Amino acid sequence: MPIYSVYRDDSLYFRHLTDDEPKDSSFQMHIHEQCEILYFVRGSAGSLIETSSHRLLPDTLLLMRPMESHRINIFGSEPYERFTVNFSPEIVDVIDPKRRLLSPFYDRRLGEKNVYKASEFDIHPNKLFSAMQPSETPDEGIRRTEILTYFFALLGQISAAFVKKEESLPEKRTLADDIANYINEHLYEELSLQTISELFFISVSQLNRVFKSATGFSVWEYITGKRLASARNLIRAGVPATHAFTSCGFNDYSSFYRLYVKKFGVPPKADIAAKKE
């Protein structure tokens, strides 16, 4: 995998890379703890964000906020080139204390208004991403400042395009959309497949079939994955694991511990130590 450029610090992770021979099995549905911007340069691919699928054309930009499940679908053998930026929401506070620049990430339903075309921007996103690539200067502070200059400009462009999207007609919702929305609104409450299926007047088997077809997850995989990601955020913020697991909808600590290790590869205490390194 050619890696053209990478920059990483505690709040920002920028990279420009290509998979010369991409395999669809290498790209699984996942959830981030930070915001993400993905700029698709070339390839034969699509995206699945929550329940919304899109065929990607060159110069397509995708937005994902924390807890928004997503994956890339690879359709062919063409090289898959992209820029990606993962960042903590706090990064904008220095210039935007009210976080207006984050409206495109948070002021919308999950899985809606995630996709932008280059024609929606006044400045072509390729120019901004190319300019963000770290320079050769050995001064880390200067490199960060250079990257942030164009990163904030990119967020400004996205915010302006988002306002125009807000003025357009609302996107058509499906049964899977409504199920996902209900789960996210009640994520930390008592949830069961039986209760959800009765609420939407379908059988449990239909529920899982409809939901997995739309998201790639079974209903319970979706619920568990999001609860684990939330618990990890709390634990990394200093909340004891014995409190975090109940706050995020788990009833049994031993089951939570086992699922946490399976998902993240480390137990909660080790995860805290890894975060501090």
What's the pTM? Answer: 0.83
Name the helix (H) or strand (E) containing 192. Answer: none
Structure tokens at 79: 């090289």
How many CB atoms are located within 10 Å of the residue 49 CB? 21
pLDDT of residue 277: 42
Structure tokens at 140: 């880390």
Q: Among candidates 253, 180, 257, which has minimal Cα distance to 212? A: 180
- Residue type at position 118: A
pLDDT of residue 276: 45
- Name the one residue in this structure whose structure tokens are 């807890």: 67
118-133 residue pLDDT tens: 999 999 999 999 999 8
pLDDT of residue 124: 95
Sheet strands side by side (includes 45-49) = 52-56, 45-49, 70-74
128-147 residue pLDDT tens: 999 998 888 788 888 899 99
Ranges of the chain whose pLDDT falls below 50: 276-277
51-60 residue pLDDT tens: 999 999 999 9
Q: Three-class SS of residue 108?
A: coil
Which residue ranges form the domains of the chain, and what is each CATH number?
3-166 (2.60.120.280), 175-276 (1.10.10.60)
- Residue type at position 200: F
